Amino acid sequence: MMELWMNKSNQTLPALSAEQTAVMEQLASRLTGASYDRNLFSLSVRFSAEAAAHINAAQHPVIVAGYSSVRAQAGDALSRLAEDVHIPVIYTDKAKGIIPCDHRYAVCTLGASEECQKLIDSADFILALDTAAELWELHASCPVMYLENTQEETSCTLVEALGRIRSLCHQKSFPNTAVHTGEELFRRDMAFGRNLAFPMCPEKVLFDVRYCLALDDILITDASAAEDHVMSYYDCYQPETCLFTRSHGTAVIGAAAAKLAKPDKHVLAVTDPAGLSRSDFDMMQQLNAPAAVLVLYRPEQTPELSGFGVPVLSVSSAVQLIPSLQRALRSDRPCIISCPANI
């Protein structure tokens, strides 16, 4: 990532903290595909047979996909397995988009809703597509089968393993409440989109954001008040298009990293007023990595956003957010969209 900075600017760049540097390095690695490896896992040939046997014996199996399934490029194989065998899929925040959100068996982000936890609580077997260390936040009372590398000479990749599991499994039956259809998701989103209350509800904000961003554009948020809403309500159709920095005040610097890694994509950061720093915007401009920054704040707040050296577009009604987002995303300069919301 440091090479990207040096190639982009001959000026002295603002000093970054170790935390900011780590965020930029991590996002650059993810978005350039440097960490992708179809051979990430060498799974025992017995893995597929054992997983299929557990699924066939279970009444309510569930798949939980972690980021390793993204790195192993297993999204298509996972989608086919879920569709053919009728298994609901929960994904971690880093794996959001591993299968499209409108896939019949894509449920939600782990930890983002009561529906998700109820599904885990009612499961009698969970196939965890990651290591136990990476899925430490998965708390289940049923048996869980994690991914583990083998030293055996004969092994298979995760994509191959999922294909074999699909061929060995019987089709399961689930109540309709366990899954959604694309039509149901569309109706839910349309209900959000018709809500013109102001200050805006977070569901409406994210509906408008989804409308303005292409499916392969990038949304980045930090540990601000918006984070949980993004996890729950931002629809993702591809992996690595919704990124969580997990550290407050790093959304803008993360957006700069994303724009450097994907200069042909629109990048939108979502944060709150406390997550802004003049030096981050200075760096974004020096690197010629313009991204839009949506700043959400509670209605009782009146943040001063004019001191960051970039244009500020103020939203004063629900119908103004989409044109403001579109204008900011088309700009060749960093731009702030200021929007009160009930977050």
Q: Does residue 6 carry a pLDDT above 50? A: no
CA 117 to chain centre: 18
Categorize the per-residue pLDDT at 107 as very low, low, confident or very high, splitting at 50, 70 and 90: confident
How far is C-alpha 201 from the geometric centre of its chain's CA atoms? 20
Please determine, for residue 247, whether its predicted confidence score (pLDDT) is greater than 50: yes
pLDDT for 203 equals 93
Question: Is 328:208 a contact under the CB 8 Å cutoff?
Answer: no
**What does the pLDDT read at residue 343?**
87
| 185, pLDDT greater than 80 | no
| Beta carbons of 133 and 151 less than 8 angstroms apart | no
| Amino acid at the residue 58 | A
Higher pLDDT pick, 11 / 247? 247
**pLDDT the model gives residue 3:** 55
Task: Please tell me whether the peptide bond between 290 and the residue prior to it is cis, using omega within 30 degrees of 0.
Answer: no
Residue bearing tokens 């298009």? 241
- The average confidence (pLDDT) of the chain is 88
Confidence of residue 54 (pLDDT cuts 50, 70, 90): very high
Query: Which of 295 and 174 is assigned the larger pLDDT?
Result: 295
Q: How far apart are CA 149 and CA 202, in angstroms?
A: 41
pLDDT for residue 293:
98
Q: Which residues contact 190 (CB under 8 A, 6 or more apart)?
A: none
190-206 exposure pattern, b = at least 16 Cβ within 10 A, e = fewer:
eebbeeeebbbbbbbbb
Report residue 89: phi and psi, to 5°.
-120, 125
Question: End-to-end CA distance of the chain, in Å?
Answer: 33
Q: Are 267 and 245 in contact (CB under 8 A)?
A: no
Give the pLDDT score at 340.
Answer: 96
User: Mean pLDDT, to the nearest integer, of 241-259?
Assistant: 93
DSSP string, 187-245: HHHHHHHT---SSBPHHHHHHHHHHHS-TTSEEEE-SSTTHHHHHHH---SSTTSEEE-
Enter the tokens of residue 292: 């839009």
Cα 329 to chain center, whole Å? Answer: 19
pTM of the predicted model, to two decimals?
A: 0.90
Specify the pLDDT at position 20: 79
Share of the chain above pLDDT 90, in %: 61
Q: What is the pLDDT of residues 297-310, one digit of tens each?
A: 999 988 999 999 99
What band does 291 get if pLDDT is binned at 50, 70 and 90?
very high
Q: How far apart are CA 75 and CA 40, in angstroms?
A: 14
Identify the H or E element spanning 89.
Answer: strand 89-91
Q: Residue 145: name the closest of 75, 48, 70 by CA.
A: 48
Residue 176 has pLDDT above 50, yes or no: no
Q: 14 versus 251: which is more confidently predicted?
A: 251
Kindly report the backbone phi and psi dihedral angles of residue 332, in degrees, each rounded to the nearest multiple of 5, phi listed first.
-95, 10
Look at 87 and 190; give whichever has higher pLDDT.
87
